[in-house]
């Protein structure tokens, strides 16, 4: 049990599976972490934000262990852990949070003030506090009583693991994007991006009662998947402006809510010139979200982008159509999702079969740890799959 | 009673008091407006947004009658008006709204869908639906049952008219900015701008229970007024960055809430080069509002700006530090205030003397209609006054 | 077209279809109602609250015309009506509201201050402001621009009329009960009552993302219907306490949210003695809703009950387990639903097929006007049907 | 330092100061509490809910140590406490909570699921989990990182300690009552009870921007205090109904919000017969709160009342005018305040001098520990004082 292996970032376009130290109850600053637990990983997904790192767009040190979407079984707990026990099967929110600072108390676990000395935000497998990534066999989770979401029944959970594995990040992230965009009963919604987060946002919008749900992308396979699952689509490769495409679907040029599930690596949007236009999604949302509507921006933007294309981008600036939109009373909320605010509720919905449409759009594929580097490549090429690493073969065994 | 006079826009830098037609129960499209009422104006204020027009920064036709902050006595009602009566003393929300469309029903009267054929937004004395301005002796108010806020007692109201006259716009506008910035009990707040809206935002923040309230401006007289009234100040002419100035006051470099009461005509902010930097306020807020905090942007931005300084500005674009701020989960809401959502409540607070600190920062000066052009000029030069036109001498008489 | 027929209350247990005057644009106080419209009724449903009247439990004058759940086509509009036109097919919220008072402006149309001189609440076909009931061929709707919800496409609407007819009352009412009970993503819910409102509450809970949805009733046919449609059931005839029955389903004795869709005519709940126990539902909810949970009480209670069984009941008092529940931080909201707050959104959900499960639980049966008295009797006997009167045969014709 | 003394309940009407064990980092179940801290108490207040115990109305074992409103300096921390340090001056929320259960994560610390094996609610000095009371020299606070609110500056805090000592309970409790009653800008409010919580509710209503704030009581001294501090009063000894008294003040018979700061020991309310009428406050609120308004019920009700006067009361039942009020859409929330949801914000307001009116209504009197039994007696007799025990003479010394 003392061995461990995991996915390591070796520079832009390169990840490798390497031998790693077995995790200890020690935090990245070298302090004893009696509040922590060690998990044997059951599933650990590859995320679009891993791709930003893989593309060299979100600065990370070579040698950093990747992965932040983990589900696992507790095999050891620190002495300060009271309510989580060895044997519990748990979902790990990708945000690392302490449960003791002002922001955590106010349910803003995505901007915890205690887990990263550099900025009020911590995450596993990112350059955000040096918390070890979890695309590996084992992982240390700090503040385990606070952070871990225990599944009530292990067998039941294993039987729904393809959906439950999404609780660590992309389902609550898509859901949060919808919540911040004020998607609710009867809303009309435009979701930018048909990647895994965009597809989870589409399912979340449906779960939240949205009426017309439109997903935009430039990847045919992803559009086909989304269309087949019962959502409307906009093809952003086309010259036809998004508003015109929306009008053809809805009879109106504007929607109530807009969700950005793309972030800074945007292409297309009427300028299919092969170039990236980082501002394209936001400016499209400013245009197609109606007066008094709202936008949620879980898609990642950063000024820590070594590959920023323009002088403005290097300073973390974007040319935004804010002045033009002002008369429409625009409202937007950006940033990472505070997973803990949503994961228990979404778990309940999955356990009671209230999102029967989730699996189809999630489109997960279970792979081994050794297949991870290949999956990074395929995903980068625009695969409509969501890759889920099963490092111990637990899912295969359960099935 | 059939005569009428009012302030008319004659081009950038020029306003004149002219003879006008007496208002009729007819809407700007020439239809009978039996839902309307005619008011004898008691007070009508000059606003910072009138200044944007005066400066040629918010496109308006020469000959347009100005004014959107009116309080008056009803002298005639259309036959479909049931609950407002001749003799009622009322505040007029600056937004024109129908009370019958989806947005009005959802309390978004600032983006009414029925009162302006060009955009979902109407206002008196603006290029927004051709509703006659109210810096005049008389005014027609459409949908009077919906739009007018009746004061419960006329004598009581006249005795508090200097505060109550602010209900038509700037007090609810400053308040809305605070609400959208989630100012509440104990909040720390940075308010950009010590003009009348900024000062009303400061009083609103206090009313909402904010703890540390900091107002930034580059006009010494306005800063002095605000300081004397008990608020903290930041001098944006200084080279010392705003965050440093905040830290000197609060012991922290960030506040919970930021309110932009300046808009596109921003100067200063560490670049006191005589040039306008329209993005300066927003980018400062992105920097000084803490993770998980919020911003309210009542300050006006527009792409209908004939004097826009840059190519980007001409397209309604601003270079915003959004990518840099994303990690902090920024949240912002912009646009005009839906006055009706707040005016009754703020009226109650004034009538029960719960904002004793309002008058001092409002710093109103009552003037005659003929003094209006001079007041436009003085206000443009940075006066710390809020000018209130008393076209019939009613306030003077009551006092 | 000048003839009209409708359902009239002739005393407890008696309703008759009678000839009626053709509606005019006149309000119950005899004033001209230029704000109103005349509708040719397309569907008009029989409601559980009609049953309270029918049972003599909600005081009403003999001769009162019944009905408050109408959908119809506009055949005439008053001169103050601007945005609703002849030919529009519309849903009528059962609450009569003015759209001009404080409560309407605050979206509390269920307690409009202007439409009933006796109490701040008006409704069609009730002893609440003398507004003519709508189980008839034609109806006058006041403040038509405000009150009517226009369907965007008539043919589309007629093809979904069995669901859309529920928008005038029971779907938004069940939904409102859920909203006030804070039903949301993942909630566990107990709904008291499997009548039409209870069944719409169950569908609403599902629509709102609830996980475990439990419906309690004592009528076998209704329980069978609900069970078959995929909800959990509690049989309140049983001696087994409701909390025990919930525990058997959920593994916990308490739910997050409780909704009372029964009201004062409660029977059963462990005391199947043939007697009514008006407090039974509320006290059950106090017991089975968890600490920090919430309750919505759309079920009708009143002190205008000529058949009140106890001295306390005659005074509008109930023996409630409030002291016992206090430690659990109970929260409840009672009263009629403000239909307008929800009907557009729910219409959108229906038009986009987002409530495919609604029809099954609604279990509507289309009948003619002349079948109404028989339907009142069958419904009173506990039928699991929702009866929808089709006074002009329009639905049959469309099908 | 190993000695300790504190106030002990010796049966109805009897409290004594006794020698006690010095607190250890051990929880009431005998487990090591490395998450805890030991505090040297600086101030510890006597509360109205201590009075319910003192009156034998809230069951408690003889020998129980009293006190739940503590402020103190940390003198020892367990090895799992990371962010609270020896020397920190802190306010202790009266609710004991774990910071790790679902309810704590949802900010419902008043119904923590882990700190009391009998019911989801823990508190110091109550029969709620056996946590030692804090009217003593020293106290153990569990989950110190979670529970303690550190004051930023000790000297500043000591200079405002008379206000800050209210943060452990009555100020947030009164504030919570207002929040649940939806008191906000311009609200009209009726507060039942001019005891310390009622007076803090009055100050909170003012802080929240209420317009007309009316406090009802039957104790002349308390009414005089409240009146002098600028609030309106209702004398509940009078035969004149409360609604009539409200109308004389406000011109309307109803208010927007009602707050019950009395609970089960209510007297008066038009029946000044010397008898208790536990339902009197709630039924008055049902009458005087307007349609669509709301009620907050921090006043204590319980079924653990050995002195319950009626058979109904013994079962935790009250005869409530719910049926009568139903048509007005009543909304109420009862229970203990989750102090942690409010205490930081209110601390900020106090530190920035935003509640200058608090001290006058709080009317604190600093006493020694040995004076506590006498203070219990005087308070029970209706004193308008709020007694604050200064067990080490720290306040006197600081002054």
Query: What is the percent of chain C with per-residue pLDDT over 70, rounded to a whole number?
Result: 99
Chain D nearest C-alpha distance from B282 (Å):
26
Nearest to B346 among D185, D206, D345 (CB): D185
What's the Cα-to-Cα distance from D166 to each of B303, C393, D156, rounded to whole Å?
A: 52, 69, 16
What residue spans in chain D does CATH classification 3.40.50.720 cover? 173-334
- What does the pLDDT look like over D27-61, one tens digit per residue? 999 999 999 999 999 999 999 999 999 999 888 99
Mean pLDDT of D188-209: 98
Q: Are D215 and D198 in contact (CB under 8 A)?
A: yes
Residues B13-21: contacts with CB within 8 Å, 24+ apart?
A: B13/B54, B13/B55, B13/B56, B15/B54, B15/B66, B15/B372, B15/B373, B15/B376, B16/B373, B17/B369, B17/B370, B17/B372, B17/B373, B20/B65, B20/B136
Q: Has residue A58 got a pLDDT over 90?
A: no
Mean pLDDT of D76-104: 98
Beta-bridge mates of residue D44: D70, D389
* In this structure, CATH architecture of domain A173-334: 3-Layer(aba) Sandwich (3.40)
Query: What is the percent of chain A with per-residue pLDDT over 90, rounded to a whole number?
Result: 93
- Using a CB-CB cut-off of 8 Å, the residues of chain D touching B345 are 184-187, 209
Q: Which residues of C touch A (CB under 8 A)?
A: 152, 175, 184-188, 206-212, 251, 342, 344-349, 351-352, 354
Mean pLDDT of A256-275: 89
Give CA–CA dist D289/D258, Å, rounded: 6
Q: Has residue A272 got a pLDDT over 80?
A: no
Interface contact flag, B107 C107, Cβ < 8 Å = yes
Interface contact flag, A349 C184, Cβ < 8 Å = no
Interface contact flag, A114 D82, Cβ < 8 Å = yes
Res B271: pLDDT: 77
Q: Has residue A1 got a pLDDT over 60?
A: no
Give CA–CA dist B20/B5, Å, rounded: 5
Give the count of beta carbons closer than 10 Å to the beta carbon of residue C34: 18
Q: Please list the pLDDT of chain B residue by residue as tens digits (399 residues).
A: 579 999 999 999 999 999 999 999 999 999 999 999 999 999 999 999 999 999 998 889 999 999 999 999 999 999 999 999 999 999 999 999 999 999 999 999 999 999 999 999 999 999 999 999 999 999 999 999 999 999 999 999 999 999 999 999 999 999 999 999 999 999 999 999 999 999 999 999 999 999 999 999 999 999 999 999 999 999 999 999 999 999 999 999 999 999 999 999 999 887 777 789 999 999 999 999 999 999 999 999 999 888 888 899 999 999 999 999 999 999 999 999 999 999 999 999 999 999 999 999 999 999 999 999 999 999 999 999 999 999 999 998 887
Interface contact flag, C325 D316, Cβ < 8 Å = yes
- C neighbours by CB contacts (3+ pairs under 8 Å): A, B, D
More confident position, C94 or A396: C94
What residue spans in chain B does CATH classification 3.40.50.720 cover? 174-334
Q: With CA atoms as reference, report the closest residue to C149 among A186, D291, B97.
A: A186
Interface contact flag, C329 D324, Cβ < 8 Å = no
Q: Which residues of B touch C (CB under 8 A)?
A: 34-35, 79-80, 82-83, 98-102, 105-107, 114, 145-146, 340, 344
What residue spans in chain A does CATH classification 3.90.180.10 cover? 4-169+338-398
Chain B nearest C-alpha distance from C34 (Å):
7
Res C397: pLDDT: 86
More confident position, C275 or A32: A32
Chain A nearest C-alpha distance from B3 (Å):
35
Nearest to C35 among B80, B101, B344 (CB): B80
What's the Cα-to-Cα distance from A243 to each of A137, A287, B232, C226, rounded to whole Å?
A: 46, 8, 45, 42
Interface contact flag, C345 A186, Cβ < 8 Å = yes
- Using a CB-CB cut-off of 8 Å, the residues of chain A touching B332 are 331-332
Interface contact flag, C212 A152, Cβ < 8 Å = no
Interface contact flag, B186 D347, Cβ < 8 Å = yes
- What does the pLDDT look like over A277-322, one tens digit per residue? 999 999 999 999 999 999 999 999 999 888 888 899 999 999 999 9
Q: Which residues of A touch C (CB under 8 A)?
A: 152, 175, 184-188, 206-212, 251, 342, 344-349, 351-352, 354
Res C1: pLDDT: 52
Q: Are A91 and A160 in contact (CB under 8 A)?
A: no
Interface contact flag, C105 B101, Cβ < 8 Å = no
Q: Are D187 and B347 in contact (CB under 8 A)?
A: no
pLDDT mean across residues, chain D? 96
Interface contact flag, C292 D327, Cβ < 8 Å = no
Q: Has residue D1 got a pLDDT over 60?
A: no
pLDDT band of C279, cuts 50, 70, 90: very high
- What does the pLDDT look like over B8-58, one tens digit per residue? 999 999 999 999 999 999 999 999 999 999 999 999 999 999 999 999 988
- What does the pLDDT look like over A175-187, one tens digit per residue? 999 999 999 999 9
Give the count of beta carbons closer than 10 Å to the beta carbon of residue A374: 12
- A neighbours by CB contacts (3+ pairs under 8 Å): B, C, D
Q: Are C22 and C5 in contact (CB under 8 A)?
A: no
Give CA–CA dist C303/C308, Å, rounded: 8
Give CA–CA dist B149/B163, Å, rounded: 15
From the number of C-beta atoms within 10 Å of its C-beta (0-12, 13-18, 19+), residue D365 rates as middle
Res B325: pLDDT: 97
Res C357: pLDDT: 97
- What does the pLDDT look like over B343-383, one tens digit per residue? 999 999 999 999 999 999 999 999 999 999 999 999 999 99
Res D308: pLDDT: 87
Integer Rg of chain D from CA: 20
pLDDT mean across residues, chain A? 96
Residue count of chain D, please give it: 399
- Using a CB-CB cut-off of 8 Å, the residues of chain D touching B212 are 348, 352
pLDDT band of C306, cuts 50, 70, 90: confident
Interface contact flag, A83 D107, Cβ < 8 Å = no
Q: With CA atoms as reference, report the closest residue to A168 among A194, A191, A139.
A: A139
Res D271: pLDDT: 77
CATH classification of B4-169+338-398 is 3.90.180.10, yes or no? yes
Q: Has residue D191 got a pLDDT over 60?
A: yes
* In this structure, CATH architecture of domain B174-334: 3-Layer(aba) Sandwich (3.40)
Chain D nearest C-alpha distance from C296 (Å):
9
| ipTM passes above 0.85 | yes
Nearest to D80 among A35, A102, A340 (CB): A35
Mean pLDDT of A232-241: 96
């Amino acid at each position: 049990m003392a061995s461990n292996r995991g996915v390591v970032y070796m520079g832009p376009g390169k990840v490798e599976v390497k031998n790693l130290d077995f995790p200890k109850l020690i935090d990245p600053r070298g302090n004893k972490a009696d509040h922590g637990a060690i998990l044997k990983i059951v599933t650990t997904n590859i995320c679009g934000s891993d791709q930003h790192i893989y593309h060299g767009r979100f600065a990370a040190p070579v040698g950093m262990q990747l992965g932040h979407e983990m589900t696992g079984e507790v095999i050891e707990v620190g002495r300060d852990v009271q309510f989580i026990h060895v044997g519990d099967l748990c979902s790990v929110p990708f945000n690392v949070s302490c449960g003791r600072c002002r922001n955590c108390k106010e349910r803003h676990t995505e901007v915890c003030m205690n887990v990263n000395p550099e900025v009020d935000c911590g995450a596993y497998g990112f350059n955000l506090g040096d918390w070890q990534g979890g695309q590996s066999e084992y992982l240390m989770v700090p503040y385990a009583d606070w952070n871990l979401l225990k599944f009530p029944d292990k067998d039941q959970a294993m039987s729904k693991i393809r959906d439950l594995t999404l609780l660590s990040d992309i389902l609550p992230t898509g859901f949060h994007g919808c919540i911040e965009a004020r998607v609710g009963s009867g809303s009309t919604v435009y979701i930018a991006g048909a990647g895994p987060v965009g597809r989870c946002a589409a399912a979340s919008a449906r779960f939240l009662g949205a009426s017309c749900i439109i997903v935009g992308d430039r990847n045919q396979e992803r559009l086909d998947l989304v269309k087949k699952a019962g959502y409307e689509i906009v093809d952003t490769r086309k010259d036809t402006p998004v508003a015109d495409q929306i009008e053809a679907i809805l009879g109106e040029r504007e929607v109530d809510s807009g969700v950005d599930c793309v972030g800074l690596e945007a292409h297309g949007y009427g300028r299919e010139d092969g170039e990236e236009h980082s501002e394209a999604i936001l400016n499209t949302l400013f245009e197609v979200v109606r007066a008094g509507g709202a936008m949620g921006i879980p898609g990642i933007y950063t000024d820590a982008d070594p590959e920023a294309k323009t002088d403005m981008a290097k300073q973390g600036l974007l040319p935004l159509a804010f002045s033009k939109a002002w008369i429409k009373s625009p409202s937007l909320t950006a940033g990472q999702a505070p997973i803990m605010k949503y994961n228990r509720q979404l778990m309940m919905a999955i356990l009671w079969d209230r999102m029967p449409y989730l699996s189809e759009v999630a489109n997960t594929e279970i792979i081994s740890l050794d297949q991870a580097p290949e999956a990074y490549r395929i995903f980068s090429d625009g695969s409509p799959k969501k890759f889920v690493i099963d490092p111990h073969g637990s899912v295969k065994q359960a099935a």
